[in-house]
Amino acid sequence: MSKLEDIVSLCKRRGFIFPGSDVYGGMAGTWDFGPLGVSLKRKIMDAWWHFWVDQRDDMYGVDAAILMNPKTWVASGHVATFADPLVECKECHGRFRADKLVNGATESISTEEFLAAKVKCPTCKKENWSEIKKFNMMFQTHVGPVEDDSAIAYLRPETAQGIFTNYRNVVDTIYPGLPFGLAQQGKAFRNEISPRDFILRDRECSQMEIEYFVRPEDWETEFEKMRQLQHQFLEDVMGLPAEKIHDLEVPPEDRAHYSKRTIDMMFDYPNGEEELMGLVYRADFDLMNVQRESGKSMEYRDKNTGESFVPHVIEPSIGVERLFLAVLSSAYAEEEGRIVLKLPENLAPYNYCVSPLLKNKPELVKKAREVYELLKQKYTFVTWDDSGNIGKRYKKQDEIGTPKCVVIDFETLEDGSVTVRDRDTTEQVRLKIEAL
């Protein structure tokens, strides 16, 4: 099992992820993606979209604004209920999520339960706590030049509400048949009390969510279909080991306020088991709230029967950063003194690295450039490396997950063959350039 600190070190050393605004000392709960991190992140997001939207005829995309009418968050219940249990150490005034300081605790932990656990402050090691208070995690801002209550707005804490507010627009413009889904990828913001565990719990993250609209009587069947599809996506497309994924049926007291059933797909991260992907049956909670607060009908009229009703909703959702870390931690390995990132080929930032055996031999460099341009045109995700000796280049490409290294040597000039080295096995074979 890889260690989290090893992955964090690799991410910074090789340009996957840096601390947010690092040059100014950073900002807790924010992270910046470097060149390789951007490539991996985009491939993950593109693979998700291809699996859930492009390959299906019942899914449609939307891209809603981050700033929304504040009525959205009143109707959804976020203003009243989107809160974590906050506890403060009276000695050092550190603030923490109470449920994360007690093993096995949930977000509904009471002050009495917390104090009974005899928790010591992680910072000062004292045991002198305030009462637990509910802390709303939405970032509040003001829209326009006047900062009064009429100008209050929020950075969205989830992408789902942008889907629900556009449900009527989609139905009225393309009139899809039931069941159908609306998918969205985008930023979400949560004012976490104590962000931690690298990119697992951030204040700014990217989400990929689907709201799948179904007939009320069909929700159980469609819920199970979605559960199986989630496993297929995580295991077959993302390459995650099936034995590291565990379905957790969330009890009623721990479910979100809008949920009638929730399954959390947990993953064995280096720091322990954490939520990776969620599947929630939201019933008609959101659409009925939108209908009530907006005064506009959210009913769907069946094309065949003429029956009108408010659809129920099933929501598969996942955080990009959580999936990013799951992919990285599954791929990370240390073998025979080398670090290798065994990323699936569909996700690796580069599929090929092209190198001349010696960079001070013009004839090798010229031929290597020809091969590089050929592969770049054919495969797009190709990099060039002529720094250091060939061993150091292999080491670097192993660490960033490049599946194949192509080396142009003097034999290439004679017969048009190149050396191709495999990342996972380190085996080398000779291939003709046209066979690449």
Q: What is the pLDDT of residue 1?
A: 64
Q: Which two structure tokens, joined as six digits, stand for 333?
A: 């390995």
Beta pairing, strands 95-97 & 83-88:
antiparallel
Is 388 strand, coil or helix?
A: coil
For CATH 3.40.50.800, list the domain ranges present in the chain. 352-435
Mean pLDDT of 276-298: 93
Pair 305, 321: CB distance under 8 Å:
no
| Paired residues of 384 in beta bridges | 354
Highest mean pLDDT among 75-79, 108-112, 144-148: 108-112
Look at residue 100 in the predicted model and tell me its pLDDT.
84
CATH number for the domain formed by residue range(s) 83-136? 2.20.28
pLDDT at site 431: 92
**Pairing between strand 180-189 and 152-154?**
unpaired
E strands of 101-162, at which residues? 133-136, 140-142, 152-154
| CATH pick for 4-78+156-330 out of 3.40.50.1100, 2.40.50.100, 3.30.930.10, 3.40.640.10 | 3.30.930.10
- Tokens (6 digits) for 281: 């049956």
Which residues belong to CATH 2.20.28 in the chain? 83-136
- Angle CA 325–329–334, to nearest 5: 150
Q: What is the pLDDT of residues 310-333, one digit of tens each?
A: 999 999 999 999 999 999 999 999
What pLDDT does residue 365 have?
92
- Other Cβ atoms less than 10 A from the Cβ of 29: the count is 20
Side-by-side strand order, sheet with 95-97: 95-97, 83-88, 133-136
- Averaged pLDDT for residues 413-434: 92
Between CA 373 and CA 366 the distance in angstroms is 11
List the alpha helices (DSSP H) in 77-127.
78-81, 111-116
Looking up tokens 């019933």 gives 283
Q: Which pLDDT score is estimated for 146?
A: 76
* Domain 352-435 top-level CATH class: alpha beta
Tokens of 414: 């004679």
pLDDT in tens, 159-204: 999 999 999 999 999 999 999 999 999 999 988 877 778 998 888 9
According to DSSP, the residues that pair with 332 across neighbouring strands are 341
**Once rounded to an integer, what is the mean pLDDT over residues 287-305?**
91
Contact call for residues 331 and 401 (beta carbons, < 8 A): yes
Amino acid at 382: V
What's the one-letter identity of residue 200?
L
pLDDT above 70 (res 52): yes
Q: How far apart are CA 409 and CA 419, in angstroms?
A: 8
Measure the CA–CA gap between 347 and 345, rounded to whole angstroms. 5
User: Which amino acid is present at 286?
Assistant: D
Looking at 77-86, 137-146, 315-324, 363-372, which range is the least confident one? Answer: 77-86
3-class SS of residue 209 = strand
Q: Quote the pLDDT of residue 232.
A: 97
The answer to whether 354 touches 387, Cβ cutoff 8 Å, is no
Domain with CATH 3.30.930.10 in the chain: 4-78+156-330
Write down the H helix ranges in 219-361: 219-232, 285-294, 320-331
Question: Number of helices and strands (H, E) in the chain?
Answer: 13, 23
